[in-house]
Amino acid sequence: MIRVSFQGERGAYSEAAALSFFNEKIETVPLPTFLEVLKNTQDDKTEFSILPIENSIEGSIGESNDLLYLTTLNVIGEVYHRIKHCLIGFDSLEKIDTIYSHPQALGQCRKFIQEHNFKTVPTYDTAGSVKIIKELNKSNIACIASRQASEIFQVPVILEGIADNPNNTTRFLILSKGKANESKKDKTSIIFSIKHEPGALHHIIEKIAKYGINLTKIESRPKKNTSWEYNFYVDFEGNEKDSNVKEMLNKIKEKTVFLKILGSYPSAEMN
């Protein structure tokens, strides 16, 4: 059976996204941190890892992106998973004053939290927050997580659909030691850093455009070992094995200090 490591407790959105992506019977392996998720696959304890990479409301997930820079695993797939947040707890909405959840979920429900003047307590995971409030067993606390997590830990749903935007979606990447097979509609993800000189980034973007390659994402992340310098994370249409893409990558490499190809994989449809 295929084993997939994910961060969090049973009922986490990462687990649901993994089940959606593989669309078959898999063994999901819950782990406390993103680092341990990837290490499990690197150590052959699981065949795949899943990482949340960006959210339609809160944007990029910094820790996951930083780990992509460090990992030796390849990105072999992506999945967009609709996030349906519920308020979960033991009492009525009126009696609650404190909300537990993962920082991303708290951010995605910011308006709801502010409207009710709730205090917030960040936790390691949405599903884990259900586990925490069950153990605390207080009437004035609740958490934000999925209906599935509510059912797993047997804590009632007080209110559904509390996210700021009903079209709340998270993009997840699937990683493995192997590489994905080519498909008719591939996407490639890379990370690069540039020489500290005028026009360096413009030169790279210009080269990508010259080869007729469509960029689907570009963003920067601070380098961890150098202040005020950045790594650039780029997604574009095409496969690294395509002659056109291969030539473009060779050209932009001339203007980079560092270039890492994370992988080419089938582009997913948004829900």
The answer to whether residue 271 scores a pLDDT higher than 70 is: no
Output the domain CATH number for residue 212.
3.30.70.260
Q: State whether 172 and 77 are in the same domain.
A: yes
Q: What is the pLDDT of residue 268?
A: 94
Is the model's pTM score more than 0.95?
A: no
Q: State whether 227 and 212 are in the same domain.
A: yes
Q: State whether 51 and 172 are in the same domain.
A: yes
**Helix boundaries (H) for 32-125:** 34-42, 62-70, 103-108, 110-115
How large a percentage of the chain has pLDDT more than 90? 89
Within a domain: 181? no
Q: State whether 55 and 22 are in the same domain.
A: yes
**181 vs 149: CA distance, rounded Å:** 34
Q: Which of 46, 170, 188, 256 is catalytic?
A: 170
Within a domain: 60? yes
Structural domain containing residue 231: 186-266
Q: What is the pLDDT of residue 255?
A: 86
172 is catalytic: yes
Q: Which of 34, 48, 90, 172 is catalytic?
A: 172
The answer to whether residue 3 scores a pLDDT higher than 90 is: yes
Q: Across residues 119-136, what is the average pLDDT?
A: 97
Q: Give how many domains the chain has, as a whole number.
A: 3
Reported confidence tier of residue 227, pLDDT bands at 50, 70, 90: confident
pLDDT 10s digits, 68-127? 999 999 999 999 999 999 999 999 999 999 999 999 999 999 999 999 999 999 999 999
Output the domain CATH number for residue 40.
3.40.190.10
**pLDDT higher at 81 or 224:** 81
3-state secondary structure of 89: strand
Within a domain: 243? yes
Tokens 């920082």 sit at which residue?
103
Query: Residue 176's closest CA among 71, 81, 55?
Result: 71
CA distances, 228 to each of 194, 197, 223 (Å): 13, 14, 8
pLDDT 10s digits, 166-219? 899 999 999 999 999 999 899 999 999 998 778 889 989 999 999 999 999 999
Asked if residue 80 lies in contact with residue 171, where contact means CB atoms within 8 angstroms, the answer is yes
Reported confidence tier of residue 269, pLDDT bands at 50, 70, 90: confident
Asked if residue 191 lies in contact with residue 68, where contact means CB atoms within 8 angstroms, the answer is yes
Q: Across residues 1-6, what is the average pLDDT?
A: 96
Query: What mean pLDDT is reported for the chain?
Result: 95
